[in-house]
Amino acid sequence: MYEPNTDVIQGTLDMLILKTLSLEPMHGFGIARRIEQISRGVFKVNPGSLLTAFQRLERVGWLNSEWRQTDKSRRAKFYSLTRSGRKQLEIETTNWNRRASAIARLLKAEG
């Protein structure tokens, strides 16, 4: 049996989270929903991976979090981007673009 990896690539998920949070602070559920929406369902965000990603990103100081009321007046953890997070997003975006275009080149290359 051969199954290709269908998960969201780990490094890519970090980048997508950072990117999404660069627009506005959000709670976890919202982030997942936003990513799923914008990717038109290509990414199914696993809540588990999402949570570990938040913890890791917060530990390295790219995210801040605080408990806030949601619009449905429930408590939820809201995440926002730190300064170094914003910088990291730039680095990751550049890296990603480079890699993606390299692979694209390779796929398009003839001979």
Partner 1 sequence: MAKTDALQGSLDLLVLKILSRRAPLHGYGIMTAIEEISGDALRVEEGSIYPALHRMEEAGLVRAKWIEKSNGRRARSYEMTARGRKQLTSEEARWTAVTSAVQRVLKLA
Partner 2 sequence: MSWIGRFTNLFRRDRLHEEIAEELASHIAEAVERGRSAGEVRKAFGNELLQRERSRDIKLVPWLDSLASDVVFGWRQLRKRPAVSTAAILSLALAIGATTAAFRLVDAVLLRTLPVAHPDRLFYLAVNYVDRDGQPDYRDDFDYPTFQKYREAVADRADLMVVGINARQDVVFGSAAEPERVYRQYISGNVFNVFSLQAALGRLIAPYDDLTTGGSPVAVLSYEYWTRRFARDPGVLGKTFRMGSDLFRIVGVAPRGFIGTEPGAVTDVFVPAMMNTEAIHSLGWSWFRIWMHPKPGFSAEQVRQLLQVFFLREHQERLKEFDSRTAKTAIKAFLNEKLLLLPAASGASDVKRQYRRPLLILAALVILVLLIACMNVGNLLAAQAAARAREMALRVSIGAGQWRLIQLVLMESTLLAAIASALGTFFASWSAPLVVSMLHVPEDPVRLVLNSGWRSLAFSVALTSLVALLFGLAPALRASGVKPISALKGGQEPPSRRRGMKALLAAQMAFCVLVQFVAGLFVASFQRLSNRPLGFSAEHVLVMDLSASQKQPLQVWMQMADQLHGTPGVQSAALAGWPLLSRNRWTEMGVRVPGKLTEGRPSYVLDVSPGFFETMRIDQIDGRDFRRGDLPPRLGASTQPLPGVGIVNEAFARVYFKGENPVGRSLWLPIAKDLSAPMQIVGYVRDAVYYDVRERVHPTMYLPMNPRQHDAFLVRTAGDPLALAPTLRSLVLKARSDFQVHTIETQSDFIRWQMLRERLLATLSLFFAIVALLLAVVGLYGLLNYLVTQQRREIGIRIALGARPTQVVRRVTTDLLAMVSFGLFLGLAGGLACGRFVESILYEVKPTDPAAAAPLLALFAAALLAVLPPAIRAVHIDPAETLRSE
C-beta separation of 46 from 7 below 8 A? yes
Q: With DSSP H G I counted as helix, E B as strand and the rest as coil, what are the percentages for the chain, rounded to 5?
A: 60, 15, 30
Shorter beta-carbon distance to partner 2: residue 77 or 86: 77
- Residue 47 DSSP SS3: helix
Q: Which of 25, 92, 95, 88 is nearest to 61 (CA)?
A: 88
> Judged by CB under 8 A, does residue 90 bind partner 2?
no
Question: Where in 60-99 is the site for partner 1 (CB under 8 A)?
Answer: 92-93, 95-96, 98-99
Residues 20-39 that bind partner 1 (CB under 8 A): 20, 23, 35, 38-39
- How near is the Cβ of 80 to partner 1 at its closest, in Å? 16
Name the residues that contact partner 2, by CB under 8 A: 1, 3, 5-7, 27-30, 46-52, 55, 70, 72, 74, 76-77
